[in-house]
Amino acid sequence: MKLILTHEVGKLGGPGDVVEVKDGYGRNYLIPRGFAIAWTKGGQMQVSTIKRARDSREVHDLGQAREIRSQLEALTVTLPAKAGGGGRLFGSVTAVDVVGAIKDAGGPEVDRRRVDLPGHIKSVGSHQVAVRIHPEVIASLAVEVVASS
């Protein structure tokens, strides 16, 4: 089955890529979740629009990616969250929460899909979070989760 990806899918490709996948994977997973659309001649024209939007968001230069990594690793990111007794959070910390905390700390703009959390963060304390800036550059960021009142 030939598909056009609309979102980044790990080990498959990024938005605007035309990929060939097994019928079941495309029909039962990618298309229902909105990660891809069926390839058509009309859809092929949409690929250029999707790729232009992707290019405007993406980091192209390895030097620029390393600069962003150094900015992120120099940040002290504190994330307030509601917590109960014993330091357990009500809910968990998400990638959107981490992106918001980076922005509040004065860091660069980061796409939430590029943030890799180490499982579910459900406790107060320091946690290591990875941010994939470029295929060759990954920033390791210490996020301090504190109990809010």
Residues 100 and 132 occupy one common structural domain: yes
Residues 68 and 52 occupy one common structural domain: no
Q: What is the CATH number of the domain that holds 123?
A: 3.10.430.100
Residues 71 and 126 occupy one common structural domain: yes
Residues 11 and 52 occupy one common structural domain: yes
Residues 74 and 107 occupy one common structural domain: yes
Residues 69 and 51 occupy one common structural domain: no
Does the reported pTM lie above 0.95? no
Residues 43 and 112 occupy one common structural domain: no
Instruction: Tally the domains of the chain.
Output: 2
Residues 133 and 97 occupy one common structural domain: yes
Buried b (16+ CB within 10 A) or exposed e, 37-57: eebeeeeeeebeebeeeeeee
Spans in the chain with pLDDT lower than 70 = 54-60, 149
Residues 83 and 14 occupy one common structural domain: no
| Beta strand residue intervals within 1-149, DSSP E | 2-5, 18-20, 36-38, 77-82, 88-93, 115-116, 121-123, 125-134, 137-148
Domain assignment of residue 32, given as a range: 2-57
pLDDT for 54: 67
pLDDT for 78: 92
Residues 103 and 133 occupy one common structural domain: yes
The amino acid at residue 87 is: G
Q: First CA to last CA across the chain, in angstroms?
A: 52
Residue from 148, 63, 77, 144 nearest 110 by CA: 77
pLDDT for 60: 62
pLDDT for 145: 93
Residues 72 and 42 occupy one common structural domain: no
pLDDT above 90 coverage of the chain, percent: 39
Q: What is the CATH number of the domain that holds 40?
A: 3.40.5.10
pLDDT for 82: 92
